[in-house]
A and B are shown apart, each in its own frame.
Chain A
Amino acid sequence: MTQYTAVTDADLAEMLAAIGVGSVQELFDRQIPANVRLGRPLDLPAGLPEQEVYAHLRALAARNVSAEDEITFLGAGMYDHYVPAVIDMLLGRSEFLTPYTPYQPEVSQGSLQAMFEYQTAISELTGLPVSNASVYEGPSAVASAGYLARLANGKPKFVVSRGLHPHARDTLATYAHGFGAEVVEVPLKDGVTDLEAWADAIDDETGAVFFAQPNFLGAVEDAEALAAAAKNSSAVVVGQYDPIPLGILKPPGECGVDVAVGEGQTLGNRLDFGGPSFGFFAATEAYLRRMPGRIAGQTVDADGRRGFVLTLQTREQHIRREKATSNICTSQALNALAGVVYLSWLGKGGLVELGELLLQRTHYARERLVALDGVSALHEHPVVREFAVALDVGGRDGVAAVIRRCQDAGVNPGYALGRDYDEFSDGLLVALTEQRSKADIDRLADVLGAAVAAERELLAHPPATA
């Protein structure tokens, strides 16, 4: 017996008698052959009382430098937005936290209606009529869109902008290797997808095209032009979108995008060292029956009451099995709930205000940083929440050293682009959220300026080797 199980000696005696066995051991002896029995205790530490587990987890937490411990401008796919207190409260409620996927809709109207509301919110955000109830996260949502295209048109080639998040490109390649598609990458030119190369790459064999908005360097792409270039092919146009700037950016549904996917972490979910979050997946009506994942639909009950059920289930693995639109079973319902609560908390006006605020602060931050010695803009395109600068500190090692210096001064200046892009080995990606005030940006400028200066000094006058 532990704190979670409850079989007393008296219980045990009664239960064994009812079953008709002499011991719990017998239940295992009679069903598992001796030659596959473990025959020894697990080699794990002994269990601990709650107080000690808490202390241990707290000690581990203390060895992490989180957004509570430094002013962070680190983004590159996940961002330190403020999570409102109402979300903590709602996600902690037993009724949202502990039920299973809604297999008995009569007692799952809370979850099902929340999915319906989430689908509505994503549809509004993206300008596309159809949304599912969530997938795992951003990069695998991109890969899922690839699978949708493969089943839809069977074409073997995917054209992918190098501006797509590196993890999304990698994940797409991993999945594509399985179901048999070739990934062809189109380079960036001056910070955005090379439109000419993009158009050239698209041909009769292209099953899907993929771009990011904004792209990984924070630049706003010409989504309409990218989508239009695929118009005369049967390729599915897939856009990977950052949801927050959709308050002010033209939505994918108005740019000719067929399938819009993206990372939902910024909508009411914490960083959590990378997960759990959720991926959103929206599409035009034509792809409704090819959508992966759960979909909640409206209906009525026996008395005519409005209600909600999982619908179009024949797409899914539990019915269509090997011909399913994906293998997804458990997705990210609780995180998607946080998403719709967050979007409702922001509200129609709030999402726009947030977008405009980020636009202004991002611009201010870029201006302040490129004014520093040794710092230049990596591209000049419009940016809405994240931008890239080049640091004249001798490449990757220098950038890493600059970041370390800044972190030692309590500011995380951003992401070293050289980790994923050889051509931007001197690059730094700087992200803004509403939690980074002007004062924070000014502090970043001071700290970064000093760090860059120190590294350039070292390069100009290296310490004498012994």
Chain B
Amino acid sequence: MADASYPTDLLYHPEHDWAKVDDDIATFGITWFAQDALGEVVFFDPPDVGSTVTANDSYTEVESVKAVSDVIAPLSGEVVEVNEDLRGNPDAINNDPYGAGWMVKVRLSDPSEVDALLDSAAYEALLS
């Protein structure tokens, strides 16, 4: 994706991850800033369905040619779906980080954790 963008309907974690919350299911991914800093993503290995993720902890890694980055969970819960398409072809993480580049869907264990996240304006302020 050529230009920076931070959709207003998403919530953001300071470690450059986003969350889209629908009742008790949240979708996670990494932000434009994160994919830009990484460069071209070459490998992504999603966690297992059924595994637990904890807010502020790493739940998987994303690799570019010359770097490996932890992906931080914005919220806690159980992984109910992973984006299998990314496994063989992680391009979408760069090209469409908020859409086809989604990484996991999680059933939230503590929905009140969303209060700690930032809205797009606050996140963008953090970046500047």
B65 at the interface (CB under 8 A from A): yes
Of residues 295 to 330 in A, which have CB atoms within 8 Å of B's CB atoms? 313-314, 319-320, 323
Which residue on chain A has the smallest CB distance to residue B43?
A314
A122 CB → nearest B CB, Å: 24
B119 CB → nearest A CB, Å: 33
Residue in contact with B66 in the complex, picked from A289, A313, A323, CB distance below 8 Å: A313
B68 CB → nearest A CB, Å: 5
B124 at the interface (CB under 8 A from A): no
Chain B, residues 62-81, CB within 8 Å of chain A (1/0): the string is: 01111110000000000000
Set of chain B residues within 8 Å of A289, measured between Cβ atoms = 43
The CA-CA distance from A433 to B57 in the complex, in Å, is 58
The CA-CA distance from A314 to B43 in the complex, in Å, is 10
**Interface residues of A, CB < 8 Å — how many?**
6
Which residue on chain A has the smallest CB distance to residue B64?
A314
The CA-CA distance from A313 to B65 in the complex, in Å, is 7
Interface of A is mostly: helix
A28 CB → nearest B CB, Å: 36
Which residue on chain B has the smallest CB distance to residue A318?
B66
Of residues 304 to 358 in A, which have CB atoms within 8 Å of B's CB atoms? 313-314, 319-320, 323
The CA-CA distance from A313 to B63 in the complex, in Å, is 10
Of residues 356 to 408 in A, which have CB atoms within 8 Å of B's CB atoms? none
Range of interface residues on B (Cβ < 8 Å): under 10
Which residue on chain B has the smallest CB distance to residue A289?
B43
A67 CB → nearest B CB, Å: 46
Set of chain A residues within 8 Å of B42, measured between Cβ atoms = 314
Set of chain A residues within 8 Å of B43, measured between Cβ atoms = 289, 314
Of residues 42 to 68 in B, which have CB atoms within 8 Å of A's CB atoms? 42-43, 63-68
The CA-CA distance from A289 to B42 in the complex, in Å, is 13
Set of chain A residues within 8 Å of B66, measured between Cβ atoms = 313-314, 319
The CA-CA distance from A14 to B42 in the complex, in Å, is 50
Which residue on chain A has the smallest CB distance to residue B63?
A314
A135 CB → nearest B CB, Å: 22
Which residue on chain A has the smallest CB distance to residue B66?
A319
A315 CB → nearest B CB, Å: 9
The CA-CA distance from A121 to B67 in the complex, in Å, is 30
Set of chain B residues within 8 Å of A323, measured between Cβ atoms = 68
The CA-CA distance from A320 to B61 in the complex, in Å, is 11
The CA-CA distance from A314 to B65 in the complex, in Å, is 7
B5 CB → nearest A CB, Å: 27
Set of chain A residues within 8 Å of B63, measured between Cβ atoms = 314
Of residues 62 to 102 in B, which have CB atoms within 8 Å of A's CB atoms? 63-68
The CA-CA distance from A102 to B19 in the complex, in Å, is 41
Residue in contact with A320 in the complex, picked from B64, B65, B68, CB distance below 8 Å: B68
A286 CB → nearest B CB, Å: 13
The CA-CA distance from A187 to B88 in the complex, in Å, is 44
The CA-CA distance from A319 to B64 in the complex, in Å, is 10
Set of chain A residues within 8 Å of B68, measured between Cβ atoms = 314, 319-320, 323
The CA-CA distance from A220 to B65 in the complex, in Å, is 43
A319 CB → nearest B CB, Å: 6
Which residues of B are in contact with A by a Cβ distance under 8 Å? 42-43, 63-68
| 16 pairs from A and B in contact (CB 8 Å cutoff) | A289-B43, A313-B65, A313-B66, A314-B42, A314-B43, A314-B63, A314-B64, A314-B65, A314-B66, A314-B67, A314-B68, A319-B66, A319-B67, A319-B68, A320-B68, A323-B68
Q: Which 10 A-B pairs have the closest CB atoms?
A: A314-B63, A314-B68, A320-B68, A319-B68, A319-B66, A319-B67, A313-B66, A313-B65, A314-B43, A314-B67
Can you add 13 more A-B contacts, CB < 8 Å, to A313-B65, A314-B66, A319-B67? A289-B43, A313-B66, A314-B42, A314-B43, A314-B63, A314-B64, A314-B65, A314-B67, A314-B68, A319-B66, A319-B68, A320-B68, A323-B68
